[in-house]
Each structure stands twice: as C-alpha cells, then as structure tokens.
C-alpha cells in the first residue's frame, strides 16, 4: 500500500527504540511507510539515520521545542506531548497518519488501518482497559468524561488530520491541559481523551498489545503492534529473557548495526527502581 504516513516523536535516549520500531515497520507491515519524526534539539538525528541508510530512504524531520508545554507534568521530558501537535506540524496535504510511540514494534500487516473510514472521528485507538478497570485516580471524574464513554491508550493512534484541523483539536487539548494541570496524571493521554472522548473509534487489542500484559497474563492472540509501555526492552530482557517480542526488538536493532549497550549494575538498580514505581506507586501498568 502506497503513501502510508507514520509519525514518531523522538526525544534524546529514545532513538534506539524508534530505530527498532521503524525497521519492524518496513519489514512486517505490508505498507510502504513514509516516516515523519518530531524531535527537539537534543534528539540525535545521526542515530536515526542508521534506519534511513538501511532502507535507502529519507525521513521528514520537524523540530519543535517545549515552550508550549511548560508547566505541565512530565516524566523525563515533554516529548510525550509532541503528538498533540501532529495536525499542525505536518503538511496540510497529509490527511491521515499513524502515530506510534517509539517503544513499539510492528509484527503484522497494517493495511487495514490505512483503509479505515475515519469520517467524523478524530482518531482510532485501542481502549486502555487496565486504566479503566482500576479507575486510576478517579479517571473519568477528574477528566469529566461521561460514564458511558471509554478511554484510549495514546501509544498507537490513527489520526484523521483533516478532522482535527477543522475542529482546532490541538489548541483545545493544550488549553485543557494548562487549565487542568492539577487533574493531569497520564500526560498527553489525559488531554486527548478529555477533548476527544466522543470522537474516536475502538481498535482491537492486537493493534496495541502491551508487553506488561503479555508477561503477566499472556493471551493467545497474534498482535500486530507490541508496545513496551512501562517496561522497556532492557527491563524485559532481565525479567523475562525468553520473551519473543523482546528478542525481536534486539534483532531489529542489530539490523541497523546499532552499538551494543552493556547492562551495568547501576542500570539494573535503575530498572528495579522503575519496576518498583510501576508496581507499587502508580498501580497503573498491572
């Protein structure tokens, strides 16, 4: 399938995840992807060019800064908010685009996503079942989402850019975030859901299969997109060395001849602290 646009938002330290995801996209998706990268001044574009070189292609780069998001809650940086700007930053002749978090890998055909009819909807995404079931920090009440509406994970989204531009969605989402800073927990995801709860289509879980779920409650499904949300591949490699999706991530990274990274004791300590935070402080990912 031609003219399939894919967007990543890449901050410093996330280049390697984006590289693996892009390589998996080219190899497994049955589409001819055109890659768009939203980044800041700290992103190492030289690393991303390893994937360009592998497939003899050029990515489109869009430099942004964090000023629009100053004052909003962050976890390491503001890059998670960049996806909100996709309708404004990308050329107006692009009417549909698939956004992927850097920490994803593509394992199956994605042509179905690009043939979807998104008329009168802003996006298509997978329901965030874990967050909904746990009612994380009074989710719907704090975001004023009606009880009969659901809540999606923003790690994989097929955007209807025309709809979002016509409805000034980016501006509305950013405005909501700034006016409700005390209510924001899941960063961009809360803002997207608060404004677009009535304008999204639910996708099957196969399009955003969270690795945490696979480790604890593996399902007999054939996922199209695997998402290393919360647990990055380095942590999965320690916790579950035989995990097939983790092995594939490293295989894709090796294809780009990305420099090997040794895991040190300090790295393991950081990973343990991260796991502790996930399990006992937020109660979100499991």
Whether 167 has a pLDDT exceeding 70, the answer reads: yes
pLDDT tens digits, 131-160? 666 556 688 889 999 989 999 999 999 999
Question: What is the percent of the chain with per-residue pLDDT over 90, rounded to a whole number?
Answer: 72
Closest CA to 149 of 202, 206, 213, 84: 202
**Residue 132: what pLDDT?**
64
The single residue listed with the structure tokens 């992103």 is 43
Grade residue 3 by pLDDT with cuts at 50, 70 and 90. Answer: confident
- Give the 3-state secondary structure of residue 214: helix
**Residue 216: what pLDDT?**
64
Grade residue 281 by pLDDT with cuts at 50, 70 and 90. Answer: very low
CATH number listed for the domain at residues 4-207: 3.90.550.10
Structure tokens at 39: 């980044």
**Residue 242: what pLDDT?**
86
Whether 282 has a pLDDT exceeding 60, the answer reads: no
Q: What is the mean pLDDT of the chain?
A: 90
Looking only at the bridges linking them, the beta strands covering 104-106 and 225-227 are antiparallel
Lowest pLDDT segment from 14-18, 31-35, 51-55, 181-185 = 181-185
Grade residue 50 by pLDDT with cuts at 50, 70 and 90. Answer: very high
**Residue 236: what pLDDT?**
86
pLDDT tens digits, 220-278? 889 999 999 878 898 888 888 888 999 999 999 999 999 887 777 776 776 677 666 65
Whether 285 has a pLDDT exceeding 60, the answer reads: no
pLDDT tens digits, 102-137? 999 999 999 999 999 999 999 999 999 766 665 566
Closest CA to 15 of 48, 57, 61: 48
Give whichever of 126-140, 175-189, 211-225 has the largest mean pLDDT.
175-189
- Give the 3-state secondary structure of residue 14: coil
Contacts with 141 (C-beta within 8 Å, 6 or more apart), sequence order: none
* Burial track 132-147 (b if 16+ CB lie within 10 A, e otherwise): eeeebbebbebbebee
């Amino acid at each position: 399938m031609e003219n399939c646009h894919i967007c990543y938002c890449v901050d410093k330290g996330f280049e390697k995840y984006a590289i693996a995801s892009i390589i998996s996209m080219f190899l497994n998706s049955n589409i001819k992807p055109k890659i768009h990268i939203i980044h800041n001044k700290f992103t190492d574009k030289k690393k991303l060019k390893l994937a360009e070189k592998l497939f003899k292609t050029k990515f489109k780069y869009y430099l942004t800064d964090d000023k629009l998001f100053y004052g909003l809650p962050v976890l390491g940086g503001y890059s998670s908010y960049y996806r909100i700007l996709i309708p404004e930053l990308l050329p107006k002749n692009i009417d549909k685009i698939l956004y992927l978090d850097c920490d994803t890998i593509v394992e199956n055909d994605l042509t179905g996503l690009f043939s979807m009819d998104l008329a009168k909807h802003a996006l298509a995404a997978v329901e965030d079942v874990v967050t909904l079931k746990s009612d994380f920090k009074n989710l719907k009440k704090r975001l004023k989402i009606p009880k009969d509406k659901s809540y999606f994970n923003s790690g994989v989204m097929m955007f209807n850019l025309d709809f979002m531009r016509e409805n000034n969605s980016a501006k509305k989402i950013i405005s909501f975030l700034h006016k409700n800073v005390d209510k924001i927990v899941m960063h961009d995801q809360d803002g997207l859901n608060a404004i677009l709860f009535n304008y999204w289509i639910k996708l099957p879980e196969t399009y955003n299969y969270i690795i945490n779920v696979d480790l604890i409650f593996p399902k007999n499904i054939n996922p199209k997109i695997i998402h290393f949300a919360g647990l990055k591949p380095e942590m999965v490699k320690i916790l579950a060395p035989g995990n097939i999706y983790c092995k594939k991530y490293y295989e894709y990274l090796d294809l780009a001849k990305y420099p090997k990274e040794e895991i040190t004791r300090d790295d393991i300590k950081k990973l343990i602290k991260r796991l502790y935070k996930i399990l006992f402080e937020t109660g979100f990912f499991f």
